């Protein structure tokens, strides 16, 4: 791993969960938290060496999710095929609505999209009690303002919505996500551009068939 000048090794080392082009990595702290909980039977943790800017670190683990379950409400989720020639093949999701059911596993990959990891309400409560340095609130954000997903959750809760519950209208949903982007420091011009793209995509779905 090679970091650009604006990102320090110390800053990266503060995170407990690192995405990569290969397997995802977790810190030894997060690995210890998982191993001491009921989540342990749903994942495999493999100690690995990581090199950052030429220096080796041996306190990271590859995390392998062992369980797969159906989790997405496909009728309510916005998606399209990754390849037009394979309409029933892998999907690209622009928004996801979860099925209203209790999963068998606490943490698992969704059968509808294996790149998405889903947590049960119990797992969410566990991680709230044992915070992970990934989804950042203002107190854990080095900028002091908080990450987009944190703000999105706060806005949904203020409107009486659950963290994974979508608003009843497209306009309201876009207002929520746009507000979260602005609060997390995304420039207004970029927020407006993303909002136009989302509207255009939704309009294309509405006219299909």
| pLDDT band per the 50, 70, 90 thresholds, residue 145 | very low
CB 47 within 8 A of CB 170: no
Is 191 domain-assigned? yes
In a domain? residue 161: yes
Question: Would residue 179 count as lying in a domain?
Answer: yes
Domain limit, last residue, from 27, 45, 65: 65
**Which residue has 């609505």 as its token pair?**
97
How far apart (Å, rounded) are the C-alpha atoms in residues 76 and 96? 7
Boundaries of domain holding 30: 9-65
Decide if 170 is inside a domain.
Answer: yes
Per-residue confidence at 156, pLDDT binned at 50, 70, 90?
A: confident
What is the model's pLDDT at position 142?
43
- pLDDT-derived band at 109 (thresholds 50, 70, 90) equals very high
Is 163 part of a structural domain of the chain?
yes
Q: Considering the domain boundaries, does residue 99 fall inside one?
A: no
Which of 65, 92, 113 finishes a domain?
Answer: 65
Residue 61 and residue 23 in contact, taking contact as beta carbons nearer than 8 Å: no
45 within some domain: yes
Residue 172 covered by a domain: yes
Three-class DSSP labels, 79-133? EEECCCCCCCCCEEEEECCECCCCCCCCEEEECCEEEEEEECHHHHHHHHHCCCC
pLDDT at res. 206: 52
Number of domains forming the structure of the chain:
2
Q: What is the model's pTM?
A: 0.59
pLDDT above 80 for 96:
yes
């Amino acid at each position: 791993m090679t970091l650009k000048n604006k990102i320090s090794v110390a800053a990266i080392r503060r995170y407990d969960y690192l995405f990569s082009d290969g397997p995802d990595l977790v810190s030894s702290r997060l690995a210890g938290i998982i191993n001491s909980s009921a989540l342990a039977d749903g994942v495999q943790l493999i100690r690995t060496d990581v090199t950052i800017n030429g220096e080796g670190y041996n306190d990271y683990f590859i995390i392998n999710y062992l369980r797969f379950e159906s989790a997405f409400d496909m009728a309510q989720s916005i998606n399209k095929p990754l390849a037009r020639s394979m309409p029933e093949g892998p999907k690209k999701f622009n928004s996801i609505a979860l099925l209203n059911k209790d999963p068998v596993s606490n943490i698992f990959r969704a059968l509808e999209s294996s790149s998405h990891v889903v947590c049960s309400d119990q797992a969410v409560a566990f991680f709230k009690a044992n915070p992970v340095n990934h989804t950042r609130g203002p107190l854990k954000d080095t900028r002091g303002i908080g990450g987009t997903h944190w703000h999105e959750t706060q806005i949904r809760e203020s409107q009486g919505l659950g963290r994974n519950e979508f608003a009843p209208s497209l306009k309201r949903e876009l207002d929520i996500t746009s507000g979260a982007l602005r609060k997390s420091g995304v420039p207004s011009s970029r927020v407006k551009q993303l909002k136009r793209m989302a509207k255009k995509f939704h309009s294309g779905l509405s006219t299909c068939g």
